């Protein structure tokens, strides 16, 4: 089984708030891989909007994203693109 871990920086102005978390959940659920987001010793499923918001990921904070499964590489690429695109927010 493929497992990939990467540190990603939250660059959008509002951080991992409700709308950004919802975008990440929509993306994560389109893959079969198990996707976790970790920050400050907490680990939550990328399928949980509430869990992601509880990480309190603000601008310029780093999170570790862990993708595990057959499509882990594609999932990580898509998640990196979402972070780079500032969760598709107009700033």
Ordered by start, the domain boundaries in the chain are 3-88
CATH topology of domain 3-88: 3.30.1340
Identify which of 54, 43, 68 has the alpha carbon closest to the alpha carbon of residue 21.
54
Query: Residue 5 pairs with which residues in a beta bridge?
Result: 66
Q: Give me the active site residues, please.
A: 17
pLDDT at 61 over 80: yes
CA 64 to chain centre: 8
Sign of CA dihedral 40, 42, 48, 54: negative
The pLDDT value recorded for residue 90 is 85
pLDDT at 51 over 80: yes
The pLDDT value recorded for residue 91 is 72
């Amino acid at each position: 089984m493929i497992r990939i871990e990467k540190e990603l920086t939250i660059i959008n102005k509002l951080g991992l708030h409700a709308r950004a978390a919802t975008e990440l959940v929509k993306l994560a659920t389109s893959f079969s891989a198990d996707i976790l987001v970790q920050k400050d010793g907490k680990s939550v499923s990328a399928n949980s909007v509430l869990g992601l918001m509880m990480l309190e990921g603000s601008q310029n904070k780093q999170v570790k994203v862990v993708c595990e499964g057959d499509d882990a590489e594609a999932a990580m690429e898509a998640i990196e693109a979402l972070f780079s695109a500032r969760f598709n927010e107009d700033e």
